[in-house]
């Protein structure tokens, strides 16, 4: 026994479609893509590293480099002169003639904590010096 119900489609402008609307699926995939793009770099932070000695060629130093040194007692030096942390901006401005594009070479004793190095780099960045190079010993051939 079959029934056939006849609908009068006078007010219906849209025909019935049997196709799947993929727009919500695309939206979900884009959201997942963004989540994985943000989460993937964060997943590599906990990887333990034993960094090798650098075997890169030494770059030529400028005629009068601006060198900031960090001693094991966490004291800061610009060139040969010890400076107070509050006087960092004035000391570097005097050496660079106020040129904030000058490269600052940072030397740090290998026994200082990483936190002390970051404090110095943050202080340089706060003074407007963004070109910072870390100085290390030439390790020769690291093979």
Q: Are 132 and 103 in contact (CB under 8 A)?
A: yes
- So what's the pLDDT on residue 32? 93
- So what's the pLDDT on residue 27? 92
Structural domain includes residue 126? yes
Q: Are 65 and 103 in contact (CB under 8 A)?
A: yes
CATH of residue 123's domain is 3.30.420.270
Structural domain includes residue 113? yes
pLDDT tens readout for residues 20-57:
888 889 999 999 999 888 877 665 544 454 445 666 67
Tell me 140's DSSP state: -
Tell me the three state secondary structure of residue 81: strand
Give the domain range for residue 106: 66-134
- So what's the pLDDT on residue 4? 54
- So what's the pLDDT on residue 97? 86
Structural domain includes residue 19? no
pLDDT tens readout for residues 59-111:
666 677 888 888 888 888 888 888 888 888 888 888 888 888 888 888 888 78
Tell me 98's DSSP state: T
Structural domain includes residue 10? no
Question: How many domains does one find in the chain?
Answer: 1
- So what's the pLDDT on residue 67? 85
Structural domain includes residue 101? yes
- So what's the pLDDT on residue 16? 74
Confidence bin at 126 (pLDDT 50/70/90): very high
Tokens of 31: 């959201």
- So what's the pLDDT on residue 123? 92
Structural domain includes residue 100? yes
- So what's the pLDDT on residue 44? 53
Neighbours of 129 (CB within 10 A): 23
Statement: residue 6 has pLDDT above 50: yes
Q: What is the pTM of this model?
A: 0.55
Structural domain includes residue 73? yes
- So what's the pLDDT on residue 47? 44
Structural domain includes residue 116? yes
Strand partners, 132: 104
């Amino acid at each position: 026994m079959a029934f056939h119900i006849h609908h009068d489609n006078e007010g219906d402008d849209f025909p019935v479609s049997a196709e799947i609307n993929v727009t919500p699926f695309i939206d979900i995939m884009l959201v997942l893509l963004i989540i994985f793009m943000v989460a993937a770099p964060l997943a590599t932070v906990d990887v333990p590293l034993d960094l090798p000695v650098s075997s890169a060629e030494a770059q030529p130093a400028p005629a009068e480099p601006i060198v900031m040194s960090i001693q094991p007692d966490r004291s800061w030096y610009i060139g040969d002169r010890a400076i107070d942390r509050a006087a960092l901006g004035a000391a570097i401005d005097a050496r660079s003639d106020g040129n904030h594009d000058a490269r600052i070479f940072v030397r740090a004793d290998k026994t200082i904590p990483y936190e002390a190095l970051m404090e110095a780099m943050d202080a340089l960045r706060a003074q407007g010096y963004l070109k910072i190079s870390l100085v290390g010993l030439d390790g020769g051939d690291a093979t």
